[in-house]
Structure 1
Amino acid sequence: MYPGLQPIEDWFAANGWQPFPFQREVWSAYLEGRSGLIFSATGTGKTFSAWMGPVAEALGQSETGGLRVLWITPLRALASDTAVSLRMPLEGLGLEWRVEIRTGDTTSSERAKQKAEAPQALITTPESLSLMLSHADHRETFANLQCVVIDEWHELISTKRGVQTELCLARLRAICPGIRTWGISATLGNLDGAMQTLLGAEAESGVLVEGHVEKEIVIDSILPESVDRFPWAGHFGTQMIKPVISAIEEGNTCLVFCNTRAQAEIWFQNILGYRPDWKGHVELHHGSLDRDMRDAVEMGLKQGKLRAVVATSSLDLGVDFSPVDRVIQVGSPKGVARLLQRAGRSGHRPGVASRVTCVPTHALEMVDIAAARKAALEGRIEAREGVERPLDLLSQHLVTIALGEGFRSEEMLAEVRSTWAYRNLTDEEWQWVIDFIVRGGSALRAYPEFRRVVEHDGLYRVEDKDIAQRHRMSIGTIVSDSAMNVAYMKGGRLGTVEESFLSRLNPGDRFIFSGKPLEFIRIRDMTAYVKPAASVKGAVPHWAGGRLPLSNQLAHAIREELDLARFGVFDSPEMEMMMPLLDVQARWSAIPAEDEFLIERVETGDGHHLFFYPLEGRLVHEGLAA
């Protein structure tokens, strides 16, 4: 046994725990110098499986100075909770390591301290890592790096942020050829492909470790008393408020997930409307709220002080809220992985069941719920495919490296091609990117401000300080609608709302935000000023917030359920309740088979009308309608 592993085994035993076999497998693989992907259910100890390998290595070494472990998280909101988990075993093991955070929230003084004396472990985001690589001394910063962990890899892999992470990993491997890379995920359907995307040219030597830990997942539903008076359309679903309140009362702490921020605001208001005595014990959490408000809600959850929190995807990932024993999903989960991810927010520890209760907001969502549960329990999780060759992102990355020590074309091309995303990058595409960052490409070469990079003796560098400053301010791939601050006239910031919504308001209009009815006063200096409204009457939260598309996997599962219904098979409570409606559909029209596209024709006094039913979700509908 490696010398550093026995103290870890002893520490587990002292806490009344025993490492799972998959954790020991990861530790051994790490200590053998291997990289890989860890796949295990939420709440089964994935964090310790990735963390204890570097810790064991440090316990067996005399010199452990400098930055040794880089922990990449997709959301900076997860950083604080991750830091607590990583620090937990260090004191008991006698390892004097510093675990610190570097994100957009880190102050300049904290960053200066980290630069003067690097911590042994640093938790950061892809954007902050890119920013670190833009500095000329980044080789010195990462000189002692031994391990990079990418948490919640499934959240990054199919986005440009994932490609940004791939490019950063390629740069770190060029600086430190011996570093090990480990990804962590609980919800992936294509494990080999996910590991290949993560490790790039090193994928052949990678190891896939699956945690076969017995973890009970309970997926049930709250259904209306009768389908006859249940709506066929709509997405707020507040007619189900009474049974949901009863479900909240059954446990200690409950997370109520909604698919949009507007829906979350409505449900928060309705819960307090029925149970005003819960004020202060039921809170709201979504991405548009002010950071301090969200932090206060998260702390209340961790301390078990809250009866319920109405949330969006802002609480989907990684954060450990041990007191949560029940999750309610309002509306269709929209994806199998999302349903399992949200279920894992309850019972977030080994040996405790995770329970999610789905609540339909209209009749047809009962089919979604039945299909999602069947697919989840059969392990049919969505595959996440990596993005291939985005040249805009490659251009940004090359400017980032040129800001620091600069690069030479042939060496950088080999480094870029070592990633999965750019493994098939052609010489022509490479030259196009080089021309774009040096001369602005064929369209912009007449404008000096687009000549970001200059070349001297084969070395490409950024020499203009203004270009360098602008680039560092805009590093990243997250694109969102323009947003405005929302604040009271008398002071106090509430959060941000899309400019497209606020620009349509007139003074005196009411809207619900931050769980409060507000009256719009005016816009000045990119801030919408409001005052408390006397009531919620006339206030509708129709600001965008976010829309979730139906996943391909769930769309396929829905088609399977409808195909069974064609032959009279209704094998779940939800499908049994849908039987009268589907019977009407079969008699008046048709229930489409898995390989059929239903088109209905209706004749009215205005003429003939066609209705198309792809049954593939919003993205397909919008594409067909374009």
Structure 2
Amino acid sequence: MTIPDAFQSWFTLQGWTLLPHQREMTARFAAGHSTLLTAPTGTGKTLAGFLGSLIDITQTRPNGLHTLYISPLKALNYDIERNVTAMIEALSLPVRVESRTGDTSQHRRQRQRAKPPHILLTTPESLMLLLSYPDAAKMFGTLKAVIIDEIHQVAASRRGDLIALALAQLEAYSPGFRRIGLSATVAEPELFCGWLGLENKRVDHLDSRTLGMAEAAPEVAILPTRKAPPYNGFMALYAVPEILSEIAKARTAIVFVNTRAQAELLFQFLWEANEEALPIAIYHASLTREMRLKTISLMAAGKLRALVATSAIELGIDWGDVDLVIQVGAPKGVSRLLQRIGRSNHRVDVPSKAFLCSANRFEVLECEAAIAAIRAGKLDGDVPQPGAQDVLAQFILNAACSAPVTPETLYALVRTAWSYRHVSYAEFETLFRFVVDGGYVLRNYDRWHRLSETEQGWIPASPQISRRHRQNIGVIIEAGKLKVRRLHGRGGKYLGEIEEQFGQSMRPGDTFFFAGEVLAFERIHDMTLDARPTAAREPLLPTYSGGQMPLSTFLADGVRGLLQSETTLNELPAVVRDWLRLQTRFSRLPDRQYLLVESFPRGKLYTLVLYTFEGRRANQTLGMLLSRRMERYELHPLSFTITDYGLAINSVEQVTDGMIHDLFSPDILADELEEWLADSPMLKRSFRRVATIAGLVEQNSNAARKTLKQVTFSTDLIYDVLRKYEPDHVLLRLTRADAERELLDLDRLTDLILTFRDRIAFCELPRPSPLSLPVILDVRTERLPGGGIEALLQQEGPEAAAERLMQEVVDGLDG
């Protein structure tokens, strides 16, 4: 495809020169090829993805939907719409582009179905909603291209399963459309190519770096601070002066954190220290759409000096004035970090600049390992997995809402989706029967009769079934939410949402951080929490489920490798280097060959520390399993503490060298696991998610959203009934698989136990080791049932305790 003169002239006017991968993508589009494009951030991937469509629409003047763009974030859709619209208007192109998300008005949604734009920007959930209508075949019958942005973010998730099934459905409506995947950070492109295309359809991988394009390597360093990072903690309060200083030097900075709670807290710290009154804002997914759009607008206009943000803006958004990124807290993954770093100096010839600011000394190691990986050009990240079957159950009903279906024809379509290519007909038929009537027990209730058979095939049993389904499409199952209304005089303004459980725990007068200010709780009425601004101190911090990012396996191994390298250790900050060298004098350092386990007395108790480097979920599971086995040995475990790096268990009796191999035996994954799951509410939590995604219960009912308490009551009741009367029900099987994957991280834990079963370096010590301090002093402690010896664990503040314990180590060595 030749670049038309009008386009070329406009590029020249902008001072742009089309890069080789942009020209290649345009040529591939003209040839009808599907492509996965990987290119560094700031190298024009979006233009590369859209340029072929814009030229083709201009030349062919299609009547209907031509290109579908799918992204995981609403904010990214808005940003892309703004940029593409600006180009269309500048060139006076006969192209209509619109976005379709959960925020789109009802009037605009109806118009988009009646008269689709040439380019529609949407999310996985909104696309599946469009595919549920009877006119879906007509709307998507003219489709020529599907662009999936940030493919690394969605393909390995349940949202990716939705997209994979949607692609199969779209192929039936418009065979042969082009499939374009875009990403800066794909570690295993061949897997993503498979996910993107049909089994019998080849998708080429185009890496911009293979075309001779020179890119500026990112400049990434540890943020220099006057104070040393503490032994424990998660907020980096010690570094606030230096963070503000770097913000003052930059044109615009983005300060990334890993959770919404951290965003609220760090924003307050920065604001209180902001003597220059620099304009700083906060952005996360729990704020209202209006607040988020206003913040995006201010950033785009260059009116903010800094933005404290979560992952809600880490993908794709292009703000030209951002010249610095500060990552506060360990990055948890190399690819994720590169995405965030790429928000600064969004140009191919200008290096991105970023500082990493660890919250504690263990995180310094993680930051150093991430920097080393970036310099070596290494990537990590999740890869596509077999599709979740609760999503498939949702898709079965979705397809039936659009047109009559039969199990045989729908199964043939599903098998063309890469994520479901290995699903057997027996598995599919079981899911189909579940969608029809709920199964052996539930079929006795009209409520779960969702499909009826006609001569043409299976259709929804009533219009109400279709309506309820459309209100609940999606796989993001959140805890119950309360809208937060900031009262002012007799009126009020909505700021966003907090989780119902947190709101219900407050009493009138309690204060909390939200939307960058301190609010005083007044009341909850009709799922709305009313609060007023206050100057009160020591407010509470809202908690959010699902906010904790797991440490990637790749980065964990990088930390282990770093601890083995004397050369690398010498390059660490002096305070961290001295901490690790003291550890070698007192105990030893963890490495890739052995699992380091330490045991030492602590007051009237004993502590067992395992340096696993396997992330919080795996360590949480290991803590529960080891505690159960320790109880069998009459060691009387009382509590355990977890971090990404290790696990510490407190007990009345001491674990000895002769016990550790039996405690860490692989059979712990059978005996103790089954006992724990039988007693744990964890399976009910997984059942709630699986049952909601599969459509057994609904979060939304007409205009109202059910409370978490209401949904939990329903799912717990159904779970108990199925366990008793239909223990082989398909949802119980899916629940177990979901818990093992999403809550227990069982695959990762199994690999750990099998790898180090006979390679344990056990050190029995007289007191806590230097390396143990960040683990044993972490404020997030899990109390075990029946422990009840709180007084034995009372200590001074965590940092003071760390300094005291460290001094004991030094005194012991010197003595």
TM-score norm. by structure 2 comes to: 0.73
Does the CA contact (< 8 Å) of 1:160 and 1:387 recur in 2? Answer: no
- The one-letter code sitting in structure 2 at the alignment partner of 1:20 is L
Is contact 1:380-1:553 (8 Å) kept? no
User: Is it true that 1:207 corresponds to 2:208 in the alignment?
Assistant: no
Of 212-221 and 555-564, more deviation after overlay is shown by 212-221
Contact 1:3/1:59 (<8 A) preserved: no
Question: Counterpart of 2:131 in structure 1: which amino acid?
Answer: L
How far does residue 113 in structure 1 lie from its aligned partner after superposition?
2.1
**1:283/1:297 contact within 8 Å kept:** yes
* Among candidates 90, 104, 107, match of residue 105 of structure 2: 107
The number of residue pairs the alignment matches comes to 616
5+ unaligned residues in a row in structure 2: which ranges? 625-815
1:36 aligned onto 2:62: no
Q: Is 2:321 the partner of 1:323?
A: yes
Aligned: 1:242 with 2:241? yes
1:313 deviates by: 1.3
Contact persistence 2:69–2:147 (CA under 8 A): yes
Q: Is the 8 A contact 1:127 1:476 kept in 2?
A: yes
Alignment of 1:91-240 (within 5 A): 91-203=89-201, 205-212=202-209, 213=213, 214-225=215-226, 227=228, 230-240=229-239
Between the aligned partners of 1:101 and 1:184, the Cα distance in structure 2 is 18
Shift of 1:534: 2.3
CA contact (8 A) 1:163 1:387 kept: no
- SS of equivalent residue, structure 1 residue 570: helix
Query: Does the C-alpha gap of structure 1 residues 92 and 507 become closer, same or farther in structure 2, counting only changes over 3 Å?
Result: closer
Say whether the 8 Å CA contact 1:152–1:185 is kept in structure 2: yes
After superposition, give the CA deviation of every residue in 1:189-244 in whole Å (9 maximum; x if it has no partner): 111111111213245x21111112413311112133464xx420011111111111
- Ranges in structure 1 where 5+ consecutive residues have no aligned partner: none
Superimposed CA distance per residue, residues 456-507 of structure 1 (whole angstroms, 9 cap, x where no aligned partner):
2361111301111110000010111211111134411121111121121121
User: 1:548 matched to which residue of 2?
Assistant: 549
For 1:495 and 1:293, the matched residues in 2 are separated by: 8
8 Å Cα contact 1:438/1:451 also seen in 2? yes
Residue 74 of structure 1: how far off its partner (Å): 0.9
| C-alpha displacement of 1:14 | 3.2
Could you tell me which of 584, 587, 593 is aligned with 2:585? 587
Query: What SS does the corresponding residue of 1:293 show, helix, strand or coil?
Result: helix
* CA distance in structure 1 between the aligned counterparts of 2:175 and 2:148, rounded to whole angstroms: 18
Deviations 1:262-321 (A, max 9, x none): 222222122221224416x11111111122111111111111111111111122111111
Specify whether residues 300 and 605 from structure 1 end up closer, same or farther in structure 2 by C-alpha distance, changes over 3 A only.
Answer: closer
Alignment CA distance shift 1:152-1:389 (3 Å): closer
Corresponding residue for residue 461 of structure 2: 463
Tell me, in whole angstroms, the C-alpha distance in 1 between the residues paired with 2:49 and 2:24.
10
Between 4-13 and 122-131, the greater mean CA deviation after superposition? 4-13
SS where residue 329 of structure 1 aligns?
Answer: strand
* 121 and 605 in structure 1: CA distance in 2 versus 1, 3 angstrom threshold: closer
1:379 is paired with a residue whose SS is coil
Corresponding residue for residue 646 of structure 2 = none
Equivalence for 1:275? 274
CA distance in 2, matches of 1:463, 1:16: 59
Query: How far does residue 408 in structure 1 lie from its aligned partner after superposition?
Result: 2.6
Q: Against the structure 1 CA distance between its residues 7 and 370, is the aligned structure 2 distance closer, same or farther, given a 3 Å change threshold?
A: same
Aligned partners of 1:200, 1:478: CA distance in 2, in Å?
26
Quote the residue 1:370 is aligned against. 368
Matches within 5 A, 1:492-503: 492-503=493-504
Q: Secondary structure at the match of 2:418?
A: coil
For 2:617 and 2:427, the matched residues in 1 are separated by: 29
- Rg larger in 1 or in 2? 2
Pair 139,446 (structure 1): closer, same or farther in 2 beyond 3 Å: same
Which amino acid is the alignment partner of residue 211 of structure 1? S
The structural deviation recorded for 1:140 is 0.8
Flag the 1:273–1:607 CA change in 2: closer, same or farther, 3 A.
closer
1:112 Cα deviation from its structure 2 partner: 2.3
Q: Report the AA paired with residue 243 of structure 1.
A: E
CA distance in 1: counterparts of 2:318 and 2:281, whole angstroms? 17
Measured after TM superposition, the shift of residue 568 of structure 1 is: 5.7
Farther-moved stretch of structure 1 (483-492 vs 555-564): 483-492
State the shift of 1:603 in Å: 2.5
Q: 1:540 to 1:614 in 2, by over 3 A?
A: same
Report the RMSD for the aligned CA atoms in angstroms.
1.8
How far off is 1:5 after superposition? Answer: 4.7
Relative contact order (alpha carbons < 8 A, sep ≥ 6): 1 or 2 greater?
1
What TM-score, normalized to structure 1?
0.95
* Matched position secondary structure for 2:199: helix
Q: Determine if contact 2:152/2:381 at 8 Å carries over to the other structure.
A: no
Quick one: distance in 2 between partners of 1:337 and 1:75?
Answer: 17
Residue in 2 that maps onto 1:513 = 514
Question: What does residue 570 of structure 1 align with?
Answer: 569
Q: CA deviation at 1:542?
A: 4.7
Q: Aligned-pair distance for 1:28?
A: 1.2
Are residues 263 and 376 of structure 1, via their aligned partners in 2, closer, same or farther at CA, if it must alter by over 3 Å?
Answer: same
- Distance across 2 between alignment mates of 1:573 and 1:298: 37
- TM-superposed CA distance for 1:326, in Å, is 0.6
CA deviation after TM superposition for structure 1 residue 523, in Å? 1.5
* Residue identity opposite 1:544 in structure 2: Y
Inter-partner Cα distance in structure 1 for 2:603 and 2:274: 48
How far has the Cα of 1:43 moved from its partner?
1.0
CA distance in 2, matches of 1:500, 1:51: 43
Task: Note the C-alpha offset of 1:93.
Answer: 4.3
Q: Does residue 524 of structure 2 align to residue 526 of structure 1?
A: no
Identify the residue that residue 538 of structure 1 maps to in structure 2: 538
Look up the equivalent residue of 1:235 and give its one-letter code.
F
Q: How much does 1:605 deviate?
A: 5.2
Q: Alpha-carbon deviation of 1:58?
A: 2.8
Distance in 2 (CA, whole Å) between partners of 1:96 and 1:206 is: 30
The 1:532/1:607 distance shift into structure 2, 3 A limit, reads closer
Aligned counterpart, 1:299 = 297
Which residue does 2:263 correspond to in 1? Answer: 264
- Shift of the 261–278 alpha-carbon distance from structure 1 to 2, 3 Å rule, reads same
Quote the Cα distance in structure 2 between the aligned partners of 1:202 and 1:95: 36
Report the equivalent of 1:352.
Answer: 350
The alpha-carbon distance between structure 1 residues 194 and 572, as it changes in their structure 2 partners (threshold 3 A), is: farther
Equivalent residues of 2:514, 2:542 under 8 A apart: no
Aligned 8 A contact 1:395 1:437 in 2: yes
Query: Once structures 1 and 2 are overlaid, which stretch shifts more, 605-614 or 580-589?
Result: 605-614
Residue in 1 aligned with 2:340? Answer: 342
Summarize the Cα distance change of 1:293–1:604 in structure 2 as closer, same or farther, 3 Å threshold: closer
Per the alignment, do residues 5 and 38 of structure 1 end up closer, same or farther by CA in structure 2, a change over 3 Å counting? farther
Deviates more, 1:464-473 or 1:385-394: 385-394
| Distance (whole Å) between structure 1 residues aligned to residue 90 and residue 543 of structure 2 | 49
Counterpart CA distance in 1 for 2:25 and 2:187 is 20
Residues 458 and 443 of structure 1: is their aligned pair in 2 closer, same or farther, counting only changes over 3 Å? farther
